[in-house]
């Protein structure tokens, strides 16, 4: 993760929430947030490094409930006022809310689990999150989850830290639902979202955003604004 990627996530977190009034960004200088992104770069990289080291693999029953508890701490550290581990018949989920006092609310989907791996197939340990020089890419974090999905999610959390550090307020409230079984087909996500308090919060949302920031070899950052189906 570099500062460009994290800044793009900050813009996504702060500006693409189109449910917010159009005048909001005009009253809040994004330069302050960009400055916080730069200042907090090393902190953001360490956050991703440490999260990759906290492995949760549903197919191997590995890293539970620690993965859910870690996810809840990440949410609270990023400014969510409450973050709760939600028990299911399978692996636990996480439900968190950030009340910004806004008129509208946006949902967030996170996954904290990763696919299995064979360390012998990796050029460096998939759990060490080493920063290595990659041809045509420069410096990159190599580890299971760096791309799918902890990297983009960590960039979004880093953006929330930057927004908070700049003394800004999100233009929308946030409702986060995270699961730990995406890689095995999400068999129990229904049990998470249909918990009365979770369902009530989600019903207030005008849409759901899934962080998926990507950076091409030429440095161009892409932000997915939505999907159908």
CA distance 207 to 52: 28
pLDDT of residue 10: 52
Can you say whether residue 162 is alpha, beta or left, with left for phi > 0 and alpha for psi between -120 and 50 degrees? alpha
- Give residue-wise pLDDT tens across range 46-104: 999 999 999 999 999 999 999 999 999 999 999 999 999 999 999 999 999 999 999 99
- Give residue-wise pLDDT tens across range 161-192: 999 999 999 999 999 999 999 999 999 999 99
Residue 122: DSSP 8-state: S
Residue 121: DSSP 8-state: G
- Give residue-wise pLDDT tens across range 109-160: 999 999 999 999 999 999 999 999 988 888 889 999 999 999 999 999 999 9
Cβ(161)–Cβ(40) below 8 Å: yes
Half-sphere exposure at residue 178, Cβ-oriented, CA atoms within 13 angstroms: 30
Average pLDDT of span 194-203: 99
Cβ(214)–Cβ(222) below 8 Å: yes
pLDDT of residue 126: 97
Spell out the domain ranges in the chain: 3-214
Cβ(209)–Cβ(224) below 8 Å: no
Tell me phi and psi for residue 20, to 5 degrees.
-75, 155
Show the DSSP H helices in 40-149 as ranges. 41-53, 66-77
Tell me phi and psi for residue 14, to 5 degrees.
-95, -35
- Give residue-wise pLDDT tens across range 202-215: 999 999 999 987 77
CATH superfamily, domain at 3-214: Zn peptidases (3.40.630.10)
Q: pTM for the full model?
A: 0.89
Can you say whether residue 61 is alpha, beta or left, with left for phi > 0 and alpha for psi between -120 and 50 degrees? left
Query: Which two structure tokens, joined as six digits, stand for 4?
Result: 């460009």
Going by their DSSP bridges, the two strands 138-142 and 130-134 should be labelled as antiparallel
């Amino acid at each position: 993760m570099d500062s460009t990627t994290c800044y793009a996530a900050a813009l996504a977190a702060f500006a693409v929430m189109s449910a917010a009034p159009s005048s909001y960004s005009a009253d809040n200088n994004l330069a302050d947030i960009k400055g916080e992104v730069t200042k907090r770069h090393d902190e953001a990289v360490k956050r991703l490094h440490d999260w990759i080291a906290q492995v949760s693999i549903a197919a191997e029953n590995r890293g539970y409930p620690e993965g859910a508890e870690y996810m809840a701490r990440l949410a609270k550290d990023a400014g969510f006022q409450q973050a709760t581990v939600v028990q299911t018949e399978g692996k636990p989920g996480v439900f968190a809310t950030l009340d910004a006092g806004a008129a509208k609310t946006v949902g967030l989907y996170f996954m904290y689990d990763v696919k299995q791996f064979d360390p012998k197939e990796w050029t460096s340990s998939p759990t060490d999150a080493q920063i290595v020089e990659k041809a045509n890419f420069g410096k990159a974090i190599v580890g299971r989850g760096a791309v799918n999905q902890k990297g983009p999610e960590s960039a979004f959390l880093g953006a929330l830290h930057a927004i908070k550090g700049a003394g800004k307020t999100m233009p929308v409230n946030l409702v986060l639902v995270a699961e730990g079984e995406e890689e095995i087909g999400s068999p129990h996500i229904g049990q998470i979202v249909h918990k009365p308090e979770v369902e009530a919060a989600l019903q207030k949302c005008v849409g759901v955003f899934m962080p998926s920031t990507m950076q091409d070899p030429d440095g161009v950052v892409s932000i997915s604004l939505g999907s159908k189906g």
